[in-house]
Amino acid sequence: MDIVIDVEKIAYVAITLVSLNLFPQIYLIIKNKSATSISYLTYILSVISSSLLIYYAYTLNLIPILLGNSMILLTSITIICLKYKYS
């Protein structure tokens, strides 16, 4: 039996999981109205790395990487804003 793996489908599943990765953190910050245990440095590095990967993906037309890192960028910026608001 031959199993054909569609690599692009795997990429989109991975993107979805990575994109959902930071939502529990956002939920907890909003629920507890506290972000004291959140590190600015972690999310600033996330913003920088996602921005660089977005540029890379755009240049090479790598849509899965572009979409995933765009979502990471947005959620990381959201966490930075919430940290500023609740700290």
> Which parts of the chain register pLDDT below 70?
1-4
Q: How many CA atoms lie within 13 A of 39 on its CB side?
A: 4
Q: What is the pLDDT of residue 76?
A: 96
Distance CA 81, CA 25 (A): 13
Fold classification of 7-86 (topology level):
Monooxygenase (1.20.1280)
Paired tokens of 43: 């999310």
Summarised one tens digit per residue, pLDDT across range 60-84 is 999 989 999 999 999 999 999 999 9
